[in-house]
Structure 1
Amino acid sequence: MLADSFGRRFYYLRLSVTEVCNFSCTYCLPNGYSGPKPSAFMRRDELRRVMQVFAAEGTRKIRLTGGEPSLRADLPDIIADARQTQGIETIALTTNGYRLAESIADWQQAGLSQLNVSIDSLDPAQFKAITGHDRLRAILQGVDDSLALGLPVKINAVYMRGMNDQLGQFLAWLKTTPVTLRFIEVMEVGAQPDFYHNHHVPLSNMKQQLLLEGWQPIVRGKDAGPAQEFWHPDYAGRIGLIMPYSRDFCTTCNRLRVTAQGKLHLCLFGETGYDLRPWLQEDAQQDELTAVIQEALGHKPATHGLHEHNTGLIRDLSMIGG
């Protein structure tokens, strides 16, 4: 089992397959994507080796991320590779939903077992203002299609003051929609420090409101994501809160990240990316890559530096998969 010097064990790998994204979300890529070309990202065989090594060391859940993963034509093949990797029990995908309705059946058939869709507003005009795309209705149809297939669906919404801080609208939707809606605090990133100061909302206040209104906490699983989740008997859906600025947020960290360029990041806001690609080629030995990963884990800090406005290497969320 992969573990760090603080006794945290890592059952969960967030594996980015591309940095490219076709949305221009205000909190991530307001001017659109301008990063490396797709040729810079790991090939399918390299991604397969990453999965195999992490699975051999106790990883049980893999989340495929981006950028926007569906921009890779071989995404169904990558999902199938994850399904065929011994030891992997859960295969999740985070998507902006652009190709969801047309692709979800193929993704599920390939082996997808969980789905996260980014929907930052339920108002079509506001959704377009945030993302740059008038696609809300089509994305919501994709969510319905996913639920009809029996897939567990989580919705990610970055909660921003003055932009989409309309809890009542989201709660009304959850009355009849059986998804987990995860609100995410705005986090400071290197490319947009002012955005955090202008739009950050501490979700601790929302947590207290939910508790007062009868929402009840859910026990967190060992391979669960970072959200504190809540349920209510009068709602079909659940709520999750991702509060990176809360006390002890990092004590339950159970996930590692590998970027589309093959770099291991011990933290979303870490100072170093450890290059794994030399050990992902055909002539490399699996035990050598395992040793590199285990050595790197010895350098994982107890917590991120967000409280000191230290955002590490991260330029925007697309470069590391969130």
Structure 2
Amino acid sequence: MYDQFQRRINYLRVSITDRCNLRCRYCRPPEGSGTAGSEALSYEELLRICRCAAALGVDRFKITGGEPLARAGAAAFIGALKKLPGVRQVTLTTNGSYFAANLPQLLAAGLDGVNFSLDTVDAALYKELTGGELALALQGVKAAVRADLSCKLNCVPLAERTPRELWDLLRFADSCGTPLRFIELMPLACNQGLQGFAGAQVRALLAQAGVAWRRDGASYGNGPAVYYRAAGCGVPIGFIEPLHNKFCAACNRVRLTSGGLLKGCLYQPAALDMKKLLSDGADDAALQQALRQAIYHKPAGHGFDARPAGFAMNEIGG
């Protein structure tokens, strides 16, 4: 379907939990827990909402968290989602820690692709940034590559990064044959005090280290990344810059939080409380009408350039 600005909305990001085994500096506050399991929508409720969204023309779904594989039954949910009428693609975003262990079930479920959050291949720095173990994340990436599953790597570059660290990450992506995307830090309530790099700064930093860049006009996947090629690296390198290269005019997505809030824009307040509709006994026709209205009124754009958003990234699924 189309929103009021004639953007075709065909992509729903579905958070199945806001819990995560890591605590990345830019994503979660230093302390505090996520939504209790009893507060999150059940898989049956999530599937019902997705079925109604698919009936409106949403055919691409991204399963997110928190860490989605931290919730038991995630692979079975993906398999059930894949079978819904009208669903063309189901992909996953993960930190990779549990991925290798869940890979057989995810392949059996028909998972179409996976994005790995990977900010460094330096074990000590990874521990500092996330509190986790790099080896588990790399194991997940390598398992996906061996299984010939479509995958990408996502990095949020912070301003203290060095050219060597970024180049090592590029080399790892190249060795795996996986596109790498640098995602500009979005100012949130949980990451005040951190400073990120815009895409031009990443390219300039690596150019100082001798890396030559050229634009790649192709598109790789559903996201808004602008892709480049770097000399000495065979994979495309994407830059997603919500502040310095605003792409709201072409945004095709809405988000569903694990607690049932539908967000037309990552930054903006929730447009619809699906959990309340479900608890009030709304039938599928009522759910579809509520979704249609909320999607139609999707905001024109975010307000990150005016003030930070008042939430943590794990609360809304990225």
> Which residue is 1:296 aligned to?
294
Assess if the C-alpha contact under 8 Å between 2:59 and 2:87 holds in 1.
yes
* 8 Å contact from structure 1 (residues 83, 111) kept in 2: yes
Distance 1:294 1:68 in 2: 28
SS in 2 for 1:154: strand
Structure 2 counterpart SS, 1:18: coil
Residue 71 of structure 1 deviates from its aligned partner by 1.2
Quote the Cα distance in structure 1 between the aligned partners of 2:246 and 2:129. 31
Contact 1:4 1:300 in 2 (8 A): yes
Code of the residue aligned with 1:319 in structure 2: it is E
Q: Does 1:67 align with 2:63?
A: no
1:61-83 Cα distance to aligned partner (Å, 9 max, x none): 10000011111111111111111
Residue 84 of structure 1 is matched in structure 2 by 83
Give distance in 2, aligned partners of 1:289 and 1:219. 37
Give the one of 270, 274, 289 matched to 1:276.
274
Equivalent residue for 1:237?
235
Contact 1:218 1:231 in 2 (8 A): no
Q: Residues of 2 paired with 1:227 and 1:121: CA distance?
A: 19
Tell me whether 166-175 or 96-105 shows the greater mean CA deviation: 166-175
Q: Which residue of 1 aligns with 2:199?
A: 203
Equivalent position amino acid for 2:316 in 1: I
Q: Distance in 1 between matches of 2:267 and 2:176?
A: 33
Q: Name the structure 2 match of 1:145.
A: 143
Is residue 319 of structure 1 aligned with residue 318 of structure 2? no
Q: Report the CA distance between 1:111 and its aligned residue.
A: 1.5
Aligned-residue offset at 1:214: 4.2
Distance 1:110 1:281, change over 3 A: farther
Unaligned runs of 5+ in 2: none
Q: Is the 8 A contact 1:177 1:237 kept in 2?
A: no
Q: Which runs of structure 2 are paired with 1:243-262 in the superposition (5 Å)?
A: 243-262=241-260
In 2, distance between residues paired with 1:61 and 1:132? 32
Aligned counterpart, 1:56: 55
Asked whether the equivalents of residues 24 and 33 of structure 1 are also in contact (C-alpha less than 8 Å), the reply is no
Mapped contact 2:226–2:240 kept (Cα < 8 A): yes
Shift of 1:23: 0.6
Task: Write the distance in 2 (CA, Å) between the matches of 1:179 and 1:228.
Answer: 16
Distance 1:94-1:239 versus aligned 2 partners, 3 A rule: same
Q: Does the CA-based 8 Å contact 1:20-1:35 persist in structure 2?
A: yes
Alpha-carbon spacing, 1:80–1:59, altered in 2? closer, same or farther (3 Å): same
The share of aligned pairs that are identical, in percent, is 32
Equivalence for 1:116: 115
Please say if residues 18 and 69 of structure 1, whose CA atoms lie closer than 8 Å, have aligned partners that are also in contact. Answer: yes
Match of 1:224 among 210, 222, 237: 222
Show CA shifts across 1:205-253 (max 9, x none). 33578898243324337x7112222346853422111100124421110
SS in 2 for 1:40: coil
Counterpart AA for 1:125: A
Deviation digits for residues 291-322 of structure 1, max 9, x if unmatched? Answer: 112222343221111111152xx410000000
Q: In 1, Cα distance between the equivalents of 2:96 and 2:129? A: 14
User: Once the 2 structures are TM-superposed, how far is the Cα of residue 282 of structure 1 from its aligned partner?
Assistant: 10
Is contact 2:212–2:231 with CA below 8 Å preserved after alignment?
no
Higher mean C-alpha deviation, range 65-74 or range 161-170: 161-170
Change (3 A) 1:117 1:248: closer
Q: Distance in 1 between matches of 2:298 and 2:136?
A: 41
Distance across 1 between alignment mates of 2:171 and 2:190: 34
Task: Name the CA distance, whole Å, in 2 between partners of 1:299 and 1:310.
Answer: 22
Instruction: Report the count of equivalent residues.
Output: 314
When residues 146 and 190 of structure 1 are mapped into structure 2, their CA distance, relative to the original with a 3 A threshold, is same
Give, as a single letter, the amino acid of the residue that structure 1 aligns with 2:40: F
Q: Residue 173 of structure 1 corresponds to which residue in structure 2?
A: 172
Contact 1:178 1:238 in 2 (8 A): no
User: Residues 286, 98 of structure 1: CA spacing in aligned structure 2 closer, same or farther, 3 A cutoff?
Assistant: same
Aligned counterparts of 1:181 and 1:236: Cα–Cα separation in 2 = 11
